[in-house]
Structure 1
């Protein structure tokens, strides 16, 4: 069998097809912060709060999360892994973390297994991005 190199355009098309097959949102799908608020309540609301000036529960308050360094909410007892990660929360870091927290940040004590659906993660991230003063 002869193997021919795949041109860049075809490689891009194949990559896009693979992403769609994996269930990722189609290009151009806008994230929905309103849906994200509902998803947040379902997935995250038991442990996290989101009110400005609100306290923490068993997990830190996420108001003002975007642009904040990991492990820095005053008075919350973070895991060593979270304090040491040194990440700055952004849509990209959140997407990686929310997909599989224990894989993204080995040593985290967060019990949540992750949000498998990329569209749901995008909506949750869009909601979190609205939480700023």
Structure 2
């Protein structure tokens, strides 16, 4: 019986520590957060990029693969798809998540803001 209580307590603690990106964010609030990203990133169906790659359909896209954008060798070799969990890690600390990438941005420290912008990016289909 004590093992059951300990197992339930550990499972509860693990769930409580799950990253915010796994929780549903608010896409409307995320669009407002994205305003700071829009200085470098387009997010429209044109597929055209500016300083950074266009983020239309970015959720699920393999990193470093948008045609016509000149990615760093680090991003081309990142070997990941932009899942919500990978986006969360990258948006937290881009230089740590993909060392050597070209994005000069320190990251979004607020977990709720990250979840919201990831939810917004998920609507861009």
Could you tell me the TM-score, scaled by structure 2's length?
A: 0.84
Q: How does 1:54-65 map to 2 (within 5 A)?
A: 54-65=47-58
Give the SS at the match of 2:8. helix
Correspondent of 1:82 among 75, 91, 102: 75
Give the SS at the match of 2:90. helix
1:91-132 C-alpha deviation (Å, 9 max, x unpaired):
111011111111111111111111111111110000000011
How many angstroms does 1:10 deviate by?
Answer: 2.9
Query: Are 1:36 and 2:35 counterparts?
Result: no
Correspondent of 1:51 among 3, 23, 44: 44
The structure in which a higher percent of residues are helix is: 2
Query: Are 1:123 and 2:116 counterparts?
Result: yes
Residue aligning to 1:66 = 59
| Equivalences, count | 121
Mapped to 1, the partners of 2:15 and 2:83 lie a distance apart of 24
Which runs of 5 or more structure 2 residues have no equivalent in the other structure? none
After TM superposition, where is structure 1 displaced by more than 6 Å over at least 4 residues in a row?
A: none
Higher relative contact order (CA 8 A, sep 6+): 2
Cα RMSD (Å) of the superposition?
Answer: 2.3
How many angstroms does 1:87 deviate by?
Answer: 0.8
Mapped to 2, the partners of 1:117 and 1:123 lie a distance apart of 10
Q: Which has the larger radius of gyration?
A: 1
Could you tell me the TM-score, scaled by structure 1's length?
A: 0.80
